[in-house]
Amino acid sequence: MSKPKVIVTRRWHRDVEQVLVERYDTQLNEDDHPMSVAELQDALRNADAVLPTVCDKVTAEVLGVDNIRARILGSNGVGFNHIDLDAAQAAGLTVTNTPEVLTDCTADLAMTLLLAVARRAGEGERHLRNGEWTGWRPTHMMGTSVTGKTLGLIGMGRIARAVAARAAHGFNMKIIFHDPFPPRDEDIAGLNATACASPEEVFAQADFVSLHCPGGKETYHLIGTDALKAMKPGAFLINSARGDVIDEAALVSALDSGEIAGAGLDVFEKEPTVTAGLLKMENVVLLPHLGSATQETRKAMGMRVVENIDAFFKGENPRDKLV
Ligand code: DGY
């Protein structure tokens, strides 16, 4: 029997690509270019499985193409707001993602942003590399202490809970959170975390607000002018979730006017374009969507996709089936 044809939309961890090549009739994206709408449509027409990443926009337009051969989209990433799930289902496609394997890595990065912006690490590094450092002095580049402060989490899923564990046990932080789908008590045991009835209740108390909600229609611009005004004047905003949760124009104004003290961002509203105002600010730390970017995690994510498509082609239910 011939092997199923698989198209991978970007370069993946080499060990995972090797497994895919061994098990499937695999087409890799040798030069790692972002695929156009037409290329994604061709992939759907020509492969049994298409393996996109969070940067491929698998929209209703892409999925509306005639003569789809693909039966599964094995997405490499936990977020799935880049895929129109209704359109995928209407086109008869199974869709899977890669939860769990990137939880710790992304939580580590959220803490990296939090610490970096509070302690002015990005600014300090630029200062030193620019040859501006004249030596230690008591008033030089004073930041904000993290230990013992209040961390407010918007969303209390796996990644938020991993951030809470780091913050509570490593930095003695008080944890508050809001999630419209609250976690079970056993999932937050030992975190000393207090639920808030609304995001506003979190904004009013938190020294650091960290976003861990999904992207998409429900959370679009959740952090806009009103939310930013509701935060404490010295607060910091951290986003390792999805860019469109923040209205970046409103964020620039709030940072400019000193309404909040700073921001640490790994994701952006119009990724990979970054709002120009942010690029000029010293009190923001900006990373290029590196949440899950470690060798270990990217390999584990890729292998989770392989596990999902292996199950699918054996006629089993993939573990991470979304639709
Ligand atoms: C995801 O899986 O949603 C992450 O953003 C990838 O880094």
User: Beta partners for 209?
Assistant: 152, 237
Q: How confident is the model at residue 172 (pLDDT cuts 50, 70, 90)?
A: very high
CB distance 104 to 163 below 8 Å? no
CB distance 51 to 21 below 8 Å? no
Mean per-residue pLDDT, 89-99? 98
Q: Note the pLDDT tens digit of each residue in 224-254.
A: 999 999 999 999 999 999 999 999 999 999 9
CB distance 301 to 73 below 8 Å? no
Q: Note the pLDDT tens digit of each residue in 267-287.
A: 999 999 999 999 999 999 999
Distance CA 63, CA 41 (A): 7
Residues 260-290 as b/e (b if ≥16 CB within 10 A, e otherwise) read bbbbbbbbbbeeeebbeebeebebbbbbebe
Tell me, yes or no, if the pTM score tops 0.75. yes
Q: Note the pLDDT tens digit of each residue in 192-224.
A: 899 999 999 999 999 999 999 999 999 999 999
Which residue from 71, 79, 45 is spatially nearest to 240, judged by alpha carbons? 79
Judged by DSSP in three states, 159 sits in helix
Q: Whose CA is nearest to atom 2 of ligand 1?
A: 77
Distance CA 196, CA 177 (A): 6
- State the chain's mean pLDDT as an integer: 98
Ligand 1 center to 291 CA (angstroms): 7
What domains are defined for the chain? 5-101+295-313 (3.40.50.720), 103-286 (3.40.50.720)
* 271 catalytic per annotation: yes
Mean per-residue pLDDT, 31-43? 98
Distance CA 264, CA 294 (A): 19
pLDDT at 1 exceeding the cut of 90: no
Whole-number pLDDT of residue 128: 98
302 lines ligand 1 (CB under 6 A): no
* 221 catalytic per annotation: no
* 289 catalytic per annotation: yes
Judged by DSSP in three states, 87 sits in helix
Neighbours of 256 (CB within 10 A): 12
